[in-house]
Amino acid sequence: MPHSAARPVEHGKHGKHGKHGKHACKHRLRWCLLVMLLPAALAHAQPDGRQELQLTAAEADYVRAGMREHVVDIQALLAGLANHDPDGAARAAHSAGTRALDDDPTRPPTLGPKLPAAWKAILQARMRGFDQVAKDIASTAETAHSLSDLSTAMATCVACHATFKLVVVGP
């Protein structure tokens, strides 16, 4: 028979599943899954050391909507820089920058007093950082300079997410 021809696979006297059959294969599969998933399970079991911000569902929804809007602004800013659209990039940076949150009619009136001073300081630093990116773009700074300032501004996002977590308590 030529080497390229298919040959039947020989499984020995115990068949293709070995001496203990399908049960042994399932057992090995379970063991492998346990070994692979245990580290992830243990990582989740470790306590989260971030400061809890206990908010109502409406307050948490408002904060999360702001974060999602912020991600959209960052994407639009990067797209503007990548596509040589400084006006679009500047608009996006300005949108993520300083704005009058207290004048937002959709902001729950109970939210402000619940936010710690550190949260507010990080938020203000983030907004000033994006204001700087908008100024860079308006002054026709090199894209690399704008990206460097964007990186600095986004470090505040990382710091905030590393420091705080939202916990919904009530409607």
pLDDT by residue (tens digit) across 83-112? 999 999 999 999 999 875 657 889 999 999
Tokens standing for residue 94: 């300005």
Residue owning tokens 């021809």: 5
CA-wise closest residue to 153 among 124, 123, 119, 126: 126
Does 6 have pLDDT greater than 70? Answer: no
Q: Backbone dihedral region of 170: left (phi > 0), alpha (psi from -120 to 50 degrees) or beta?
A: left
Return d(Cα 135, Cα 97) in angstroms, integer. Answer: 11
pLDDT tens digit sequence for 107-164: 999 999 999 999 999 999 999 999 999 999 989 778 999 999 999 999 999 999 999 9
Tokens standing for residue 71: 């991600």
Confidence at 171, pLDDT banded by 50, 70, 90: confident
Mean pLDDT score of the chain: 82
